Amino acid sequence: MRSAFGRFAQELRLKRGLSQKDFAELAGYSMAHVSNLEHHRMNVNDKVVGVYIDVLNCTGEEACELRKLANFGNGLRKTTDPTSPNTPIQVMLEAFGDRISPRARAKIQEIIERETGEQLDALTFASNQRTPSKPSVKKRTKRPELSPQRLVEISLIAEKARLRVCGETRKIDIGAALEKLSFTENNLDYDVLETLPSELDGAFAAIVGHDNGHTIILEEKRFLGAINGVFFSRHVVAHELGHHFLHSRLLESKNGLYLPPQELAKNTPSMFTSERRIEQVVDTLEEVEAECFATLFLVPWTAFLKGTEVRYLAEDYGEQLDEVKRYSRLFVLDNVKDAFRWALWHKGIRQHPIFD
């Protein structure tokens, strides 16, 4: 999670209406570098603190607090030196993960499973380098379907989250939304890296469960794409938010492990610039639910009731056309409308367009 210095810096940014991207540009840093500083993966020296103070135009009291928290975080880093014999195993894995062979990782996993009696799906290792992976062939399975009741439940959760971050604004600023949610939700953080661990096999976003909550990790270039309006990238960020809002217990039960992310196309420059359709594999109920949340977070469910042509909905709200089409077909079904009416009625809501 973000360090005490990072949390305070984030608070100061938000007070001044600056996103992490805005701050990075003003400071002359990359977003990944800012994230490294605010998660205290490197020492925050006096020069860095000075940059924060200048860019944020801090008061004397704020500047003093930034220096104090930076020094405190620097002191903590010294106690987790990867060369220390008493270093926690997770710190060692994160420090040396890119140098450990697949066979060694499998052995570590085997030992942990034998000693703890728990079955681990995957071990995570932080790495600054993406290692090439062998292409795998995944057997395609039918996409699970949501019941009308679960669709309604997710729609209302997405609506509530959406109202918190942008009110009645039509098109969500996904970067600002993530910044605000990570600050107001005690158990949510986000982290921007230049490249993600090779274990994610080309994905550019994932969510990790840990002792203090959940962290969405994002590849910098792709996250910038989401901020700049790339529909696919916006959808994937919203998808990971869906896991946070819908699958907290699952994330907590897999403490320290990645929830299996969307399987995305390989991380190549052509993926970012090409207009070709990028196929996503969504074959578990959790993934389908996160996909549903993503679309209904970007496009509120009430917008589907207005009969607007789907291509205009997609453009106006910044969502992929295929996803808008998928849910527009559902909102004309009588059993889905009845499920919404029942849910709203039991919430005491009697005046709503869906009752017309």
Quick check: is 230 in a domain? yes
Which residues neighbour 8 within 8 Å (Cβ) at sequence distance 6 or greater?
A: 65, 66, 69
Q: Which residues is 258 bridged to in the sheet? A: 208
Same domain, 344 and 215: yes
Same domain, 93 and 195: no
pLDDT at site 170: 85
pLDDT at site 25: 93
CB-count exposure of residue 117 (10 Å: 0-12, 13-18, 19+)? exposed
With a cut of 70, which residues of the chain have pLDDT below it? 76-102, 110, 112-141, 198-202, 252-283
Same domain, 118 and 161: no
Length of the chain: 356
Same domain, 121 and 154: no
Quick check: is 200 in a domain? yes
pLDDT at site 42: 80
Quick check: is 74 in a domain? yes
The domain total for the chain is 3
> Which among 18, 49, 78 is the end of a domain?
78
Quick check: is 142 in a domain? no
pLDDT digits (tens, 9 = 90+) for 111-129: 766 655 555 555 554 433 3
Same domain, 300 and 347: yes
Same domain, 254 and 323: yes
Quick check: is 132 in a domain? no
The boundaries of the domain holding residue 74 are 4-78
d(C-alpha 231, C-alpha 278), whole Å: 12
Quick check: is 133 in a domain? no
Same domain, 232 and 346: yes
Same domain, 120 and 184: no
pLDDT at site 230: 92
Quick check: is 130 in a domain? no
Q: Give the CATH number for residue 65.
A: 1.10.260.40
Same domain, 105 and 180: no
Quick check: is 100 in a domain? yes
Same domain, 230 and 311: yes
Same domain, 70 and 99: no
Same domain, 104 and 247: no
**If DSSP states are collapsed to H, E and C, what string results for 41-87?**
CCCCCHHHHHHHHHHHCCCHHHHHHHHHHHHHHHHHHHCCCCCCCCC
pLDDT at site 236: 92
